[in-house]
Structure 1
Amino acid sequence: MDAIRKQLDVLMGANRNGDVTEVNRKYYDRDVCRLFLVGLCPHELFQLTKMDMGPCPKVHSFQLRKEYQEAKAKGEDNYDRELEDVIDRLIVECDRKIARALKRLSEEDAKAAIAISVSEVTQLMFDLFADL
């Protein structure tokens, strides 16, 4: 239920029902997702994948994104570097997982090759003894 409420907050704003009195949030508040303000929250990037990070614990608001973009245009704030750092860390983690998976596949291929060669040798031995 909280996830649905959060999605509605993102789409329609926290005061969508007119019952929230605290709407004085600023884009630079601690509970606002800076990466969402820049344009890409990694929690949304890998949804329903093995790298799913779950829902973002911070506030995503299109209104705050607009305020941030206005401040960025004035040269007041710029969170782009934070997003670049997060993306770099995600790339390193993805590369590490890919390398681990490739190693596991090569080990399985080696085991399969051994099994095939053993079965071929067994078949040859069977054929030799059948001829005797």
Structure 2
Amino acid sequence: MREDGYLFLVDRKKDMIISGGFNIYSTEVETALYEHPAVQEACVVGVPDEKWGEAVKAVVVTRPGQHVGEQELADFCATRLDRFKKPRSVEFVAALPHNRNGKLDRKAVREPYWAGADRRVH
């Protein structure tokens, strides 16, 4: 915050999920997911939720030859995070999209879940 009262965001505000009035940072949930030995890559996004505004969703690529279930991964996160931060759903994919610089394209992961939604909570 500057002396004149202006506040500057120094991280991507869209990486924050607001669920039931709680602020949940995607990177915090992803850090917990990466602690699981079966997780190769993960992207956490907010998806529409009628009750809470947004719900935490993890999109995960597993390591070759590894398998983990949705509930097992959510329970694993619950031991490392506050319960309201754990993923409410997990989707397993073969690969996650990346931009030209090799960074995870979070917008491309998030967009299909919001397509056609009446409102967008970001």
Between Structure 1 and Structure 2, the one with more helix by share is 1
Q: Which is strand-richer, 1 or 2?
A: 2
Taking CA–CA contacts closer than 8 Å with sequence separation of 6 or more, which of the two structures ends up with the larger relative contact order? 2
Q: Tell me if TM exceeds 0.5.
A: no
Larger of the two Rg values belongs to structure: 1
TM-score (norm: length of structure 1)? 0.21
TM-score (norm 2): 0.22
